[in-house]
Structure 1
Amino acid sequence: MPASTRFPVRRPAVTAAGTAAALALALAACGSSSDSSMPAMDHDAHPSAAHSTSPSSSMSDMPGMDHGSAAGSRLADHQDGYRLTSAVATLASRKPAAYRFTITGPDGKPVPGFALDQTKRMHFYAIRSDLTGFQHLHPSMAADGAWTADLSALAPGAWRMFASFTPDSGSGKGKDFVLSRTVTVPGTAAMTPLPAPVTTTQADGYTITVTGKPMAGMAHPLTVSLSKGGKPVTDLQPYLDTYAHLTAFHEGDQAFAHVHPTTEATGDNGGPDLAFHAELPTAGNWRLFLQFQTGGKLHTAAVTLRVG
């Protein structure tokens, strides 16, 4: 499978709370709630409205204050004058729900236009506090600038919602933003311990193996290999302009990191090896979510990776 070091246009510089860097892989998710159907992953769940870990504007809006800050870990609802606003603090338990939000610019008005990133103008993620629930959606925007993310049923607990976008005009034109807020899903929340770090996992009959030595503060190449029935997978189809989408979340604070694919999608013949550029800023356990497509079906896999 041909590989070219090409970075999709809008991906946020993978940073999270703490120092900067280390590669992560695991399995990502990108797509609509109907796309994310991984067992026990609670894909399409809502973030909880417990508390919004947002630093003061004097801190998160400061240029260069990325590493170790809430803005850098994608845990702030505002950055450089741009803000994620929502009146939604609670979402219904165990039933589909709509999360409505708006992205406003430095002038306080809804941002009117967004650049395409992997064929979408907005990528939206919902992750449960224990990293068991995950959804990657592509919301729709109304004429007034309001966005709606249609979430699948969510388990009770605290959830964080992430909006990933790039304005196509104004002071933030061409800059990648990832803003987030929390929501609460009422009910008895049974917290699940994060699975131990491993290099191999399975999903929908596929075996996913991650190769790489993650280390906080350093960027590393990461390789994800896929097989099925003991045979290498070579029929991956392009999904969102690439063969796989990989997202990582840090245990404890849900810090967000987007891992950049470097393998170019050229047809329905992707695999078995997929190359990524991973840079995880904080040591500890990261839960990675990988999405890939075969035969018109989207698969989601997850794995825990230890970053030293």
Structure 2
Amino acid sequence: MFASSCPAVRRRRALAAAGTAAVLAVTLAACGSSSDSPSMPGMDHGAKPSASSSASASSSMGDMPGMDHMADGNGLTDNKDGYRLTSKDTTLAAGRQAAYRFAVTGPDGKPVTAFALDQTKRMHFYAIRSDLTGFQHIHPTMAADGAWTTDLDTLAPGSWRLFASFTPDSGAGKGTAFVLSRTVTVPGAATKTPLPAAAKTVDVDGYTLTVKGDPMAGMEHPLTVTVTKNGKPVTDLQPYLGTYAHLTAFHEGDTAFAHLHPTTKVNGDHGGPELSFNAELPTSGNWRLFLQFQTGGRLHTAALTLNVS
């Protein structure tokens, strides 16, 4: 009897093992499918000169102080999940301010008009030249029909990539953070500016910023920025759009976009000297970091190169 039941037992075990493997395979597949993969303004590798906090050049980050939505992808496409960044502007004039007009259309092909607040703004817009100079961060305005206009500062000749960062507040993509981009050409003789060497310190407007941390490509890693002035810790950073600092990064070569997420809690006009971020830079190589912070109602923008292994 025992001998005659062994084949049946073995068959039942084999079937059970096969069923378990099938369930595991489905589970893994479901998990894996949840994610997608200079002297003139605009000529230097820093940002344009500091401006008042009410100026158009500003920043982005989340609906809670110090937090923000994490957009999926590197921003190097004008469409994702049915949402598309559209514009008739393919060239912009050099040497003067320029208005760039665009819209975001949804999966139904119609302009999106409902956007969620993301660090007090419904749209964050970035401009960067192909050599990672001329960084601009602007909050454009939207008309009732969903047409956006952003006023760009003086642009140097060359190829520029323009990024729109937003979160729909209705439709299929409601609550999802997107970063989409398009390129424009600024006619004229373009002179490439070499990327400054990687460094851990940078000076801007009398402040010294020191970066601590060695991010690795594709891995989340803590990054700390310490702000000092005349060798003394700075402790009077003001909240800037819901946080003490905004940090944006662009990859050398393809201008891929990354937004580093702050973790420092906001406590009135008492920010500093340390600012903490969760850095997740998807690819190795040189990244140009632009950090914006505010003191005394004045916006400061520091730029440095970070090498990611």
Number of the residue aligned with 1:90 = 91
1:178-193 correspondence to structure 2 within 5 Å: 178-193=179-194
Among all aligned residue pairs of Structure 1 and Structure 2, give the percentage whose two residues are the same amino acid.
72
Number of the residue aligned with 1:55 = none
Q: Which amino acid aligns with 1:279?
A: E
Q: Which amino acid aligns with 2:46?
A: M
Report the structure, 1 or 2, having the larger helix content. Answer: 2
1:251-270 correspondence to structure 2 within 5 Å: 251-270=252-271
Number of the residue aligned with 2:135 = 134
Residue deviations 1:227-277, cap 9 Å, x none? 011111111000010000000000000000000000011201100000001
Measured after TM superposition, the shift of residue 214 of structure 1 is 1.2
Number of the residue aligned with 2:308 = 307
Number of the residue aligned with 1:246 = 247
Q: Which amino acid aligns with 1:162?
A: F
In 1, the alpha carbon distance for the partners of 2:133 and 2:259 equals 18
Measured after TM superposition, the shift of residue 218 of structure 1 is 1.1
Residue deviations 1:190-237, cap 9 Å, x none? 101100101001111110000001111211011000001111111100
Q: Which amino acid aligns with 1:122?
A: M
In 1, the alpha carbon distance for the partners of 2:217 and 2:200 equals 17
Matched, 1:194 2:195: yes
Number of the residue aligned with 2:211 = 210
Measured after TM superposition, the shift of residue 78 of structure 1 is 0.2
In 2, the alpha carbon distance for the partners of 1:293 and 1:307 equals 27
Residue deviations 1:43-89, cap 9 Å, x none? 49xxxxxxxxxxxxxxxxxxxxxx9xxx8221000000000000000
Number of the residue aligned with 2:154 = 153
**Which ranges in structure 1 are unaligned for 5 or more consecutive residues?**
1-18, 21-35, 45-66
**Which ranges in structure 2 are unaligned for 5 or more consecutive residues?**
1-35, 50-70
Measured after TM superposition, the shift of residue 42 of structure 1 is 5.5
Number of the residue aligned with 2:73 = 72
In 2, the alpha carbon distance for the partners of 1:108 and 1:279 equals 32
Counterpart contact for 2:47–2:301, Cα < 8 Å: no
TM-score (norm 2): 0.78
1:33-52 correspondence to structure 2 within 5 Å: 41=46, 43=48
Measured after TM superposition, the shift of residue 38 of structure 1 is 10
Q: Which amino acid aligns with 2:186?
A: V
Counterpart contact for 1:42–1:154, Cα < 8 Å: no
Q: Which amino acid aligns with 1:259?
A: L
Counterpart contact for 1:37–1:300, Cα < 8 Å: no
Matched, 1:168 2:165: no
Q: Which amino acid aligns with 2:280?
A: E
Matched, 1:112 2:117: no
Measured after TM superposition, the shift of residue 161 of structure 1 is 0.2
Q: Which amino acid aligns with 1:235?
A: D
Q: CA, structure 1 residues 42+289, in 2 after alignment: closer, same or farther (shift >3 Å)? A: closer
TM-score (norm 1): 0.78
Number of the residue aligned with 1:58 = none
Measured after TM superposition, the shift of residue 295 of structure 1 is 0.5
Q: CA, structure 1 residues 38+164, in 2 after alignment: closer, same or farther (shift >3 Å)? A: same
Counterpart contact for 2:43–2:133, Cα < 8 Å: no
Number of the residue aligned with 1:278 = 279
1:6-25 correspondence to structure 2 within 5 Å: none
Counterpart contact for 2:208–2:227, Cα < 8 Å: yes
In 2, the alpha carbon distance for the partners of 1:161 and 1:237 equals 28
What value does the CA root-mean-square deviation take over the aligned residues?
2.0
Measured after TM superposition, the shift of residue 133 of structure 1 is 1.2
